[in-house]
Amino acid sequence: MRLAVRAGWSAVGWRGDSGWFGRGVRVVAEALLERWGLRVTGPGMRGMTAVVLPVERADGTAAALKVLTPDEETAGEPLALRAWGGRGSVRLLEYDPPTGTLLLERLDERRPLSRLARRDARAAVGVIGGLLARLCTVPAPEGLRGLGEIAAGMLERVPEAAAGLASAADRRVLRDCAGALAEVAGEPGDRLLHWDLHFGNVLAGGREPWLAIDPKPLSGDPGFELLPSLVNEYRERDVRWRFDLLTEAVGADRARARAWTLGRVLQNCLWEVEEGCRRLPRREVAIAGLLLGR
């Protein structure tokens, strides 16, 4: 899976699709449309792990039916949304545990924060910072993946990954990121993290100007939340001020935020190497260099 910058949502005629996003979604969606008294009001949207259908409830309220592909990352979404209770995030209206399907409040999918980011990056990063400041104050509920276990797993994979890199410079970057992560991994934190809060995962709302969607929740340190907004709509010249703004917004210790962000860089790099790449992604190398003071 790729960090933060995923393939965008695309329109899908869910009755005609093939595979899981066709028959599987159709079976689940039709059962829940009937059970929850919903009416489909337009074409669905398909992302990497879900199909979302615009629907209307029996009382005329607009909502969104989200049918998920079950996996480790999406399993905690209802726990997170319940814990946040709509404070900075989309509201969970109904949940079907057997299928993992969510009924969510309807936001304006035509107005993602990414549109603002292209015009005014500083304002958009400020929105992300404000949301993170609220979301990360909530203690993580029981049952979520823990950052400590994830960090330990990454550190174990570094020697093999480093051996597969073609250049000594890339091996040094990988090991330096691992060294920074190792300094904080023993204190992983216990806050509720979104893990994938970037401009495309924030939509305009009615009751609040902007609300977070699509969490892949973790229990951990808020410093692990910053990288998505450094790499999304990426400009190297923006990295330092974005990092500073977000660190201040979440009230993080700068040194710890730096270490956790380097850990997040490490995570991205490990995915690339494990998919057969022999060079580290240049964007991640550049961010690591800036954070390491090179």
Compute the residue count for the chain: 294
> Catalytic: 17?
no
The active-site residue out of 170, 176, 196, 221 is 196
Whether residue 96 contacts residue 32, with contact meaning beta carbons closer than 8 Å, is answered with yes
Whether residue 223 contacts residue 260, with contact meaning beta carbons closer than 8 Å, is answered with yes
Residue of 159, 162, 45 lying closest to 109 (CA atoms):
45
DSSP H helices, the chain, are 25-35, 77-84, 113-119, 121-135, 147-163, 168-184, 228-231, 239-250, 254-274, 282-291
Whether residue 109 contacts residue 89, with contact meaning beta carbons closer than 8 Å, is answered with no
CA atoms within 13 A on the CB side of 213: 25
Q: How far apart are CA 145 and CA 251, in angstroms?
A: 23
Separation of first and last alpha carbons in the chain = 29
Phi/psi of residue 220, nearest 5 degrees:
180, -160
Q: How far apart are CA 199 and CA 120, in angstroms?
A: 12
Strand order in the sheet with 210-212: 108-112, 202-204, 210-212
Catalytic residues: 196
